[in-house]
């Protein structure tokens, strides 16, 4: 499965567990968050006020 900005945080962490460190660097505590199962990377970036392009570049995924 290709991980994109429209994938859930849960799917991201399942496919790329090392992404947890990147999320923490952006101040996102998504690893232990219950919302992560249904929230997309795009939605999480918006909620946390993080530019999507910056986050996806750091995660190595496409926007």
pLDDT in tens, 9-37: 999 999 999 999 999 999 887 666 667 77
Q: Does residue 37 form part of some domain?
A: yes
Q: E strands, 1-63, where?
A: none
CA distance 39 to 49: 15
Q: Does residue 48 form part of some domain?
A: yes
pLDDT of residue 29: 74
Cβ contacts of 37 within 8 Å, gap of 6 or more:
8, 9, 10
Question: How many beta carbons lie within 10 A of that of residue 36, not counting itself?
Answer: 20
Structure pTM? 0.87
CA distance 23 to 30: 7
Residue 6, both tokens: 């429209």
Q: How many domains does the chain have?
A: 1
The fraction of the chain above a pLDDT of 90, given in percent, is 70
Does residue 63 have a pLDDT over 70? yes
Q: Which residue has the higher pLDDT, 42 or 62?
A: 42
Structural domain harbouring 37: 9-59
Q: Does residue 4 form part of some domain?
A: no
Q: Does residue 1 form part of some domain?
A: no
Torsion angles phi and psi, residue 5, rounded to 5: -60, -20
């Amino acid at each position: 499965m290709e991980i994109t900005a429209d994938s859930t945080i849960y799917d991201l962490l399942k496919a790329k567990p090392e992404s947890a460190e990147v999320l923490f660097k952006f101040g996102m505590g998504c690893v232990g968050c219950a919302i992560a199962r249904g929230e997309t990377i795009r939605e999480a970036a918006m909620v946390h006020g993080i530019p999507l392009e910056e986050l996806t570049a750091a995660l190595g995924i496409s926007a």
